[in-house]
Amino acid sequence: MQVFSPFQTRKLQLSCEGKEKAEFTRFYYVTVRKRVRVHRDGRTHWETRHVREERSERMKKKVTQMDFKVDLMDMAAYDYVIQPGNYTAGFSFTLPKALSSTMDWKSSAIRNRPEVEVKHAIKIKLLGGAQEAKSKTTITVRQLPMAIDPSHMGKHLEAPITKCCCFSQGKLQMDAHFMGAFYDKTERAVCHAKVMNEACQADIQKIEIQLKHVV
C-alpha cells in the first residue's frame, strides 16, 4: 500500500469474500381463457377458448461461500495517523474446504442464456478516519484434484460369447488399464489392453474399446 500524504485512520483491516452466482431464463406454459373472433356460417362470433401461452422468468441464485474480516494493524501507537510511505502487511489464511473453484461462464447461443460466476476477492481498508480508503483484488481458486483409487484406473472384463443368440462359444476375458488418472484436452489418453482368448471357441476378428468422456 502506498500513502502519499498523512492519513487519519483507526485501523487497517483485511476482508475476504467469495460469492457464487448462477442465473438462467426459465420458459413455461400457462393455460388462459381468451375471447377469440370466429367466422362461421357467414357470420362473426365471439367465443371463449382455453389457449396455451408461453411465458418466461429470469431465475437467479446467489450464495456467499466466504465472508470474514480481520484487523491487520491498530493505529493507536501512531496516534491514529498513517504517514506517507510504502507499507506491506503479511498475512495468510486457510480457505474453506468446500470452496468452489473460480469460474466465469455464460452462453448467448442457448435460448435460456445461462450464466455462472464464482468470484473471490481480497480487500484492504483503512477505517475510522474522515475518509475511508480501500483497495481490492481478485484471487483465483483452484481445487486440488480428488485422490483416485489406483484400482479405478484398471478394469477386468469377462463376457460370454454366444452364436446365433443361444449357442455358447465360451468366454472372453480382457484387462484394460489407463496410464493416468487425468488427461488434458490436448493430451493423448493411453490405455493398455490384454485379451485372453483361450476359453473362447469363436474366431474373434475385431475388438472395439470405447472411451467415454464424463463431466
User: What stretch(es) of the chain map to CATH 2.60.40.640?
Assistant: 2-25+58-139
Q: Which pairs with CB-CB distance under 8 Å and at least 24 residues apart come from 99-103? A: 99/18, 99/65, 99/66, 99/141, 99/143, 100/18, 100/20, 100/65, 100/141, 100/143, 101/141, 101/142, 101/143, 102/139, 102/140, 102/141, 102/142
Task: List per-block mean pLDDT (blocks of 10 residues) for the chain, which spans 215 residues.
Answer: 80 87 94 89 88 93 88 81 79 78 90 93 80 80 66 77 74 79 72 79 75 64
Query: CATH for 2-25+58-139, among 2.60.40.640, 3.40.50.300, 1.10.3720.10, 1.10.10.10?
Result: 2.60.40.640
State CA 96 to chain mean position distance. 16
pTM over 0.75: no
- Mention every residue, 6+ apart, whose C-beta is less than 8 A from residue 170: 160, 161, 199, 200, 201, 202
Give the residues across from 69 on adjacent strands.
Answer: 15
Q: How far apart are CA 103 and CA 207, in angstroms?
A: 40
